[in-house]
Amino acid sequence: MKSILVLIVCWNLVQGDDSGCLSQGGTCQEDVLQCSGHYVSGLCTGSATRRCCLHGGTGSSGTGSCHNVQIVSRSAWGATAPKSVSNLHLPVNLVFIHHTETPACHDPASCKSRVQNIQHYHISTNGWADIGYSFLVAEDGAIYEGRGWDRVGAHTEGYNQRGIAFSFIGSYSGSKPPAAALTAVKNMIQCGISLGKVASGYHLYGHRDVNPTSCPGDALYHEIQTWPHYSHTKP
Ligand SMILES: [Zn+2]
């Protein structure tokens, strides 16, 4: 027992202060070990191979780790708490693409207030428990966390229990969203697969494929038909 105590004390002395990593929600570990997010140097004490594994996303609220996507968490955009929550059975097989049919936004300040307004509209006018979409994407490629990976949304009537939805902030009938936004959603879908949220054999649809709507706009609808997993057969 005594020797174990001595070892623990020595270990702590050697490790010193890892607060740079811990304060970012990461874990200091040997970088040969699996890291669910990505490694950052210079935040952990000890040898150069002892690095900070940053898990990314916002942890408990369900964005998981998507190292190649910039995710704006609910708390970061100032979301109101949902009125009720029900969880999806994961992984989901269906991914739906929408547009918000609002003006677009390109920077954190204007997108934050745009997403707040959409949430307010969905709760106050539509009477929903929360913002309808799983995630929203801005023209600068930033992804705003809606209901996240884990929770049933209110986006695609008849399919909310079986799928998740990405909504492009803007109106994309005449022109498609910028490359940054398109790439961000593609990366998020890949990330969803790696996190076990989306089935690897998922089917991708536009909102209009399953509900009577023009969503996600003609230009965006044509674009997503070139994406892998776009499905011409109804779910
Ligand atoms: Zn839609």
**Residue 186, both tokens:** 């593609």
Domain architecture of the chain: domains with CATH: 2-54 (no CATH), 68-224 (3.40.80.10)
Residues 55-60 have a mean pLDDT of 43
- Report the 3 state secondary structure along 40-101: ECCCCCCCCCEEEEECCCCHHHCCCCCCCCCEECHHHHCCCCCCCCCECCCCEEEEEEEECC
Residues 222-234 have a mean pLDDT of 95
Ligand 1 centroid – CA 4 distance (Å) = 60
Ligand 1 centroid – CA 134 distance (Å) = 12
What's the pLDDT tens digit per position in 110-164?
999 999 999 999 999 999 999 999 999 999 999 999 999 999 999 999 999 999 9
**Alpha carbon distance 182, 81 (integer Å):** 28
Ligand 1 centroid – CA 131 distance (Å) = 13
Biggest distance spanned by C-alpha atoms of the chain: 73
**Residue 173, both tokens:** 């009938």
Which residues, 6 or more positions from 143, have their beta carbon under 8 angstroms from its beta carbon? 66, 69, 70, 71, 72, 135, 136, 137, 184, 185, 188
Determine the pLDDT at residue 19.
Answer: 77
Ligand 1 centroid – CA 97 distance (Å) = 7
* Residues of the chain above pLDDT 70, percent: 84
- With contact defined as beta carbons under 8 Å apart, do 141 and 70 qualify? yes
Give the pLDDT band of residue 41 (cuts 50, 70, 90). Answer: confident
Ligand 1 centroid – CA 130 distance (Å) = 16
